[in-house]
A = this chain, B = another copy of it.
Amino acid sequence: MTHDDFAFIKLLQSRGLRVTPQRLQVLDAVCEGEGHTSAGEVLARAREANPAIDQSTVYRTLELLCKLGVVAANLSAEGITVYELVGERPHHHLVCTTCGREYEIPDQAVQTLMEAIQGLYGFTVTTHHLMLEGLCQACLTSEESQVEP
């Protein structure tokens, strides 16, 4: 997924925020990443464009992007915060623990679970993004076909 610099610039301006090269570089860096990107990866990627950019700028900018609703923050299974562009539709991710690939799944299946929880327990789930770990089909079949050592 790619983003729209122009829309982002207008968004910043509409809030009275400054348009700086660093902000554009951080947003670019998040976009370059497929799926979820850690702050460290964003920093590394942003430094390709601007070697002088500081980690604190990256963290502050990511926080800003979250507040603006441009990116979303989530916890990875290792406990570090990962970021991704906010798309049009809500969705969730399946992360393969073997190959590391990420698969997007639509919200509807999960929505059913959330509604069931609401109905049964009167609990309104506000977690809008799940990252489920597991084994993807490709890794599963290749694992079955070989004898474990």
Q: Which residues of A contact B (CB under 8 A)?
A: 75, 77, 79-81, 94, 96-97, 103, 105, 109-110, 112-113, 116-117, 120-127, 130, 132-137, 140
A109 to B94: give the CA distance in the assembly, Å: 19
A126 touches B116 (CB 8 A): no
Per a CB cutoff under 8 Å, which of B77, B96, B126, B130 touches A75? B77
A96 to B130: give the CA distance in the assembly, Å: 17
Q: Tell whether A123 pairs with B94 under 8 Å between CB atoms, given A79-B79, A109-B113.
A: yes
Q: Which residue of B lies closest to A81 (CB)?
A: B79
A117 touches B135 (CB 8 A): no
Listed A/B pairs (23) with beta-carbon separation below 8 Å: A75-B75, A75-B77, A75-B79, A94-B123, A94-B125, A97-B126, A103-B121, A103-B123, A105-B117, A109-B113, A109-B117, A113-B113, A117-B132, A123-B135, A123-B137, A124-B134, A124-B140, A125-B132, A125-B133, A125-B134, A127-B133, A127-B134, A130-B130
